[in-house]
Amino acid sequence: MNRDVEDLIAEREAARAAVEHFAPITEAWAFETESASAAKPLLDFYLDAVKTSDLFVLIVGEHLTNPVREEYSIAQEHGKPILVFPKDSQSRGEDADKLLRSLNAKYDLFANPAELRAKLRRSLGLQILTVIRGDGKDVMRPGDRLARLRRYQRNGMSVKIQQMVPVASTTSFASRQ
């Protein structure tokens, strides 16, 4: 974390408390609470956490750092549900403002850490209920597949589509009498 740019230290702590409210069902992960590790490069360290998460919470302040931009991109690419909470600010930087305008999701403004904690707790509770009820995005509908292919196209990714024919478990047929 770059303390010169980081303007959400208290808010990150409030978010962690909101997530831990639902323990043991939920577990908060934050870069600054992890132990030192030389096992893998720094970028891989926090991006792997996003890849293996069940939900991504994005808190947007005045500035948008490159690591946060990368995390958000990885969460999108991996189809993670994303909850977005921008801090109500008149001095938001152009990069953070551009991200908020590009979202295809409803976000919830907050004014202070206590308000963020309450709003995030409510959103997490609703998200957990969605998963329990099976209303989530676990089932991929045809439109979801098309949207994913369009996202690949926008990002310049290529996709190989291959016809799959089931392999028979037996090569002979027995007649019934």
Which helix H or strand E contains 60, and what residues bound it? strand 56-60
For 9-154, CATH number out of 3.30.40, 3.40.630, 3.30.70, 3.40.50 equals 3.40.50
Q: Where are the domains of the chain?
A: 9-154
Position 35 scores a pLDDT of: 64
pLDDT in tens, 94-139: 999 999 998 877 899 999 999 999 999 999 999 988 888 776 554 5
pLDDT tops 70 at residue 17: yes
| CA 16 – CA 32 distance, rounded (Å) | 11
| CA 18 – CA 117 distance, rounded (Å) | 5
